[in-house]
Amino acid sequence: MGNNSPILIDGIINFQITPSEYRHWRVEYDEDVATIYMDVTETAGLYEDYELKLNSYDLSVDIELSDIVQRMRFEHPDVKVVIIKSGKERVFCAGANIRMLASADHVHKVNFCKFTNETRNAIEAAECESDQQYICAIRGVCAGGGYELALACNHIMLVDDGSSAVALPEVPLLAVLPGTGGLTRLTDKRGVRRDLCDVFCAMEEGVKGQRAKNWRLVDEVVMNSKFDDFVEKKARELAERKTSNDEKNGISLKPLVKTFFNNGSIGYSTILVEIDRERSCATIRIDGPKTPPPNNMEELVDIGSDAYLLGLARELDDAILHLRFNEPEIGLLIFCSAGNAEVLLAHEKLLLQNQDHWLAREVCFLWKRVLKRIDLTSRSMIALVEHGSCFVGTVAELLFAVDRSYMMQGEFEGDNRSLARIALSDANFGLYPMSNGLSRLGTRFLGEESSVTIARGFLGKLIDANEAEELGLITFSYDDVDWEDEVRIFTEERVSFSPDAMTGMEANLRFAGPETMETKIFGRLTAWQNWIFQRPNAAGEKGALQRYGSGIRGDYEKSRV
């Protein structure tokens, strides 16, 4: 187990951390410029069977970085430029720790790569969403996942000192791929020629100096004696170009309060995650708000991270990550809700009507990221719209994120809750785009724009089961005679299928429509990297991951598949 790590507690990976608990990063603030130093503590990895040498990283390092990026938006919204540097001499980052990859089980490796890339995406989105631009200042070797971190930044600067270089050596050294989007970002984001990518990704030593700039691997190359001053000057120039006049006094993101039960279930303030190991499923129950929304944004700022929709987004995000990493055999997630639909819509209305306020925007951007995380989670998902539920507006997005949805139809004997209804708001028509750039309704009705238009005609109305099914907003509706049996049959059938086949099928079906850099990255991660990580050429006894550092190259099977 880790060395008294705040991230590994009693064998459970914890995704909540505070700046005082950071072991691998430090952050300095100078007015509207922040500098993040990657200074990994070798002996503070998630587990004790490897050391994080040369600023290599594991999940614990990335959890801290994810927390920094999130806090930068909410706690320091006045920051306009963020510089990422190494806190060590002669090395920027050696990438993901190879010993960790060699010893980790397959599920952890793939989920680790996915989480890492979701953090990279949050960095990329920071400029257009939060007016925060990231600069990567590279001194020393920047390889593998370290260079992929650089690729996520808006601007890459490399010192020209004869030894500093960028590299993606996964193929020649490890028999795997740059697993957090390296290949795709080279071609689609930076416009590096395909043949030069082929050369670059086959080189263990990487590319230095002016050649790195000529190939578009970096944006600027600066001589060593002027590098630090040049980076600072560049950051100040970029900060001065920002013209936002929005007054931004950040809020504090308080630690989430969680209660763990003996059966593995977890209670939060707004959700309850019920674990049913016998059925291999988890039910995520969302509680609607108990009080009306604040009267204005000033009051919302005062409430801070206790605000309902902000708290729900943070808790839902934490629950999904917990299920991914700590409950790998839970194959089916069931979303339910209960609460006053009108009160929930009122909370959302405050945000939608104040999109000129930084906090209202940030809460919506967080929901965008959380919903994407749900889309990308390799579990079967279903929503049950029961009587008394509150699947409206933002929360209704879950109905369009899951693989199927079932809704109670008509009165149920002995059930005195209000009849099941759903409601659409402006949030359902483009505020939270998926990785394919479309809304979930747009993806649902791909090629049927008229269906989206018809659905928009029901904006703000409470829609019953018959209307919802007719509009295509749910999959099926059942009365009290059939409800229990139909839901039971589905859940039993779903968990009886091959998890591998389900992951492949769901990942294909969830991202219909146009392909983007994001869908390419996650599609390749789900399929190619998932497959390559299990091949003997990488993970076998004679594979590259197992033999790394021994001086003996991997013994490869030569057949092409």
In this structure, are 294 and 389 located in the same domain? yes
Instruction: Single out the residue of 77, 246, 232, 258 nearest to residue 69, CA to CA.
Output: 77
In this structure, are 393 and 433 located in the same domain? yes
In this structure, are 132 and 269 located in the same domain? no
**Over 90: is that where the pLDDT of 524 sits?**
no
Q: pLDDT confidence of 184, banded at 50, 70, 90?
A: very high
Amino acid 549: pLDDT: 83
Q: pLDDT confidence of 559, banded at 50, 70, 90?
A: confident
Task: Convert the pLDDT of each residue in 31-57 to its tens digit.
Answer: 999 999 999 999 999 999 999 999 999
Task: Convert the pLDDT of each residue in 451-499 to its tens digit.
Answer: 999 999 999 999 999 999 999 999 999 999 999 999 999 999 999 999 9
Which of residues 459, 478, 503 is at a domain's end?
A: 503
Helix (H, G, I), strand (E, B) or coil at 18: coil
Residue 474 lies in a domain: yes
**Pair 431, 368: CB distance under 8 Å:** yes
Residue 10 lies in a domain: no
In this structure, are 222 and 265 located in the same domain? no
**Over 80: is that where the pLDDT of 247 sits?**
no
In this structure, are 438 and 473 located in the same domain? yes
Is residue 85 within a helix (H) or strand (E), and if so which, with residue range?
strand 81-86
Which of residues 503, 522, 540 is at a domain's end?
A: 503
In this structure, are 176 and 315 located in the same domain? no
**Token digits of residue 300:** 């919302």
In this structure, are 198 and 107 located in the same domain? yes
Question: Which range marks the domain in which residue 158 is found?
Answer: 15-240
* Torsion 190-180-273-468 (CA) sign: positive
d(CA 233, CA 237): 6
Average pLDDT of the residues of the chain = 94
Q: What whole-number percentage of the chain has pLDDT above 90?
A: 86
Residue 559 lies in a domain: no
In this structure, are 409 and 308 located in the same domain? yes
For the residues 196-205, what does the mean pLDDT come to? 95
* Residue 35 Cα distances to 29, 86, 128, angstroms: 6, 10, 20
Residue 515 lies in a domain: no
**Over 70: is that where the pLDDT of 271 sits?**
yes
Q: In sequence order, which ranges of 226-340 are alpha helices (DSSP H)?
A: 227-241, 297-303, 308-326
Residue 491 lies in a domain: yes
**Over 60: is that where the pLDDT of 2 sits?**
no
**Over 50: is that where the pLDDT of 399 sits?**
yes
d(CA 353, CA 71): 24
In this structure, are 211 and 320 located in the same domain? no
Residue 210 lies in a domain: yes
In this structure, are 311 and 343 located in the same domain? yes
**Over 60: is that where the pLDDT of 3 sits?**
no
In this structure, are 192 and 310 located in the same domain? no
**Pair 319, 312: CB distance under 8 Å:** no
Residue 186 lies in a domain: yes
The one-character DSSP state at 341 is H
The one-character DSSP state at 225 is G
**Over 60: is that where the pLDDT of 245 sits?**
no
For the residues 254-267, what does the mean pLDDT come to? 95
Residue 518 lies in a domain: no
Which of residues 181, 211, 240 is at a domain's end?
A: 240
Q: pLDDT confidence of 243, banded at 50, 70, 90?
A: low
Which CATH number characterizes residue 273's domain?
3.90.226.10
In this structure, are 37 and 144 located in the same domain? yes
Number of domains present in the structure of the chain: 2
Task: Convert the pLDDT of each residue in 140-172 to its tens digit.
Answer: 999 999 999 999 999 999 999 999 999 999 999
Amino acid 381: pLDDT: 97
Burial class (CB in 10 A: 0-12, 13-18, 19+), 40: buried
CA 34 remoteness from chain centre:
23
